[in-house]
Every structure is written in structure tokens, then in C-alpha cells.
Structure 1
């Protein structure tokens, strides 16, 4: 389902705030992005699923406090909105390679809050973006 521009823009802004919190190592900002009244889950690359808000935030606290936290750039985010849920699929660019991520959000008190993050290896080439097609 295509989203009205304002709804999709708000969803993409919430997704961007997630990566900003990661990049800055801000656990308070990260915690504020995760839903408080919906069930949540997280699948970090190569790790077992993490269920529940407390466990998910503990995993982020550990990652964000690490001195070796990688820099991640969110590329090609695509937003899909389904009533009170939204999905952003994107590429996570790291110095060591690229991952695919899906970030699921739910509306909570009028704001998009993350309920699921899944990031894993990218094993297939990405289709060219319109910008890449023009420069080829």
C-alpha cells in the first residue's frame, strides 16, 4: 500500500532517528524509539532472536556502549505503510560490507515506534537505483 507523503515521511524520519541514535551511541534516544505498549523483538546479525523490550534495550545498551561500535549508514530506505504499522526496508552500509535491514514500526500515541529490527547479510546484488542507472 502506498502511503501519503506525510505519513511515509514521518515513518522515514523515525527510521532515520534510529540510525542517528545508533551513530551517536545515545541509549536514551534509542529507548525512546522502541515501543512501550506493543511487543518488541530484535534480530541482530548472526544472533539469536531477542524478545521483549527490556531484553531488546539491554542488547542495544551493550552495542552502543562498545568502544568498537561500527559506523552504519542507512541507504535506499523504502517505506511501506499499513494503517497503524509501517515497514522500512533499507541497506546498512558498514566499513566491512553491507547488510539488509527491515525495521517495523507501530503507531503509539500518534508517533512511530519501533517494534522489530532485523539486520542480516546481503547475499545478492542490489538492483540499481534510478541515480545509479543514470550514471552508468
Structure 2
């Protein structure tokens, strides 16, 4: 039997699998169904409610030909910190590789993401997600950062 942290990480990874494969059915299964659900895409206003959040992912996945996520710095916190937590916070860095302007080119970037997952019907589901791009610091600009 997997530990709670392993279950949370598996649900979290399934989210990225859904985006990478444009699997809307998988994406839909990963979110709690509630008007309080929220998502903040980089440089965008918050979206509230499962329907709006899932619609935004459908549109984004339809526009992406290729994307791959390499997750680093994954931190999982569950609470209450008992043997039966009902909420989890996952913070990670998304290192993103996607198709560039031509078929032979790729582009990359990073974002820091915070995701709140809740135990819903025995499954870990997303309640809230917020991604923020990481600023690229050019050589010589370190003193200003």
C-alpha cells in the first residue's frame, strides 16, 4: 500500500501526464467538483469553479502541439498532520520544454507551482493550482535580483 505522500505525488504527476498527452478525461478526473475550486495560470486572473477551470485546460491543451514537464524541488505537506490527512500542499518547480516556432526547435522555461489537493471520495483531487513563471536572470544581472 502506498503512503499518503506517494498517493498525493501520484495524483500530482497524473496532472502533468494529462497536460502532456492532452487527455481531457484524465484532467477532468483529477479536479474536485466544486464552485470553490480555483486555478491561476501564469500571468492570468484567477478562475473559479470546476467548469471554468476545466474549460481553460481544454483550450490550453488544444493549442499545444508538444509539451513536457520535468518537475524538481517537489515538497509535499499534508494536514492535518495526522494519520488521515484530508488536504495536501504540493510546491514544485516546473521545468518546461515545448515546441518552438518551427518543428525543429524547442523552447523552455520554468514556473513555480503550488497545488492544493483534497481527499475526495477516497481520491486525491486538485482544489487549487497557482503557477508563476520564474524570471530568467541574465549574466551580470545577479546583483539586481
Bin for the TM-score computed over the shorter chain: 0.7 to 0.9
Instruction: List gaps (5 residues or longer) in structure 1.
Output: 126-136
Alpha-carbon deviation of 1:121?
Answer: 1.8
Q: Which residue of 2 aligns with 1:23?
A: 20
Q: Distance in 1 between matches of 2:52 and 2:34?
A: 15
- Aligned 8 A contact 2:91 2:113 in 1: yes
Q: Which residue of 2 aligns with 1:32?
A: 29
Q: Distance in 2 between matches of 1:7 and 1:61?
A: 29
- Aligned 8 A contact 2:35 2:49 in 1: no
- Aligned 8 A contact 1:37 1:108 in 2: no
Aligned length: 121
Q: What TM-score, normalized by structure 1, do the two folds share?
A: 0.81
Q: How large is the RMSD of aligned CA atoms in angstroms? A: 1.9
Moved over 4 A (4+): none
Q: Which residue of 2 aligns with 1:86?
A: 88
SS at match of 1:48: coil
**Correspondence for 2:47 among 37, 40, 50:** 50
Higher relative contact order (CA 8 A, sep 6+): 1
Alpha-carbon deviation of 1:110?
Answer: 0.9
- Aligned 8 A contact 1:40 1:116 in 2: yes
Alpha-carbon deviation of 1:75?
Answer: 1.9
- Aligned 8 A contact 1:43 1:118 in 2: yes
Alpha-carbon deviation of 1:71?
Answer: 2.6
Q: Which residue of 2 aligns with 1:132?
A: none
- Aligned 8 A contact 1:38 1:115 in 2: no
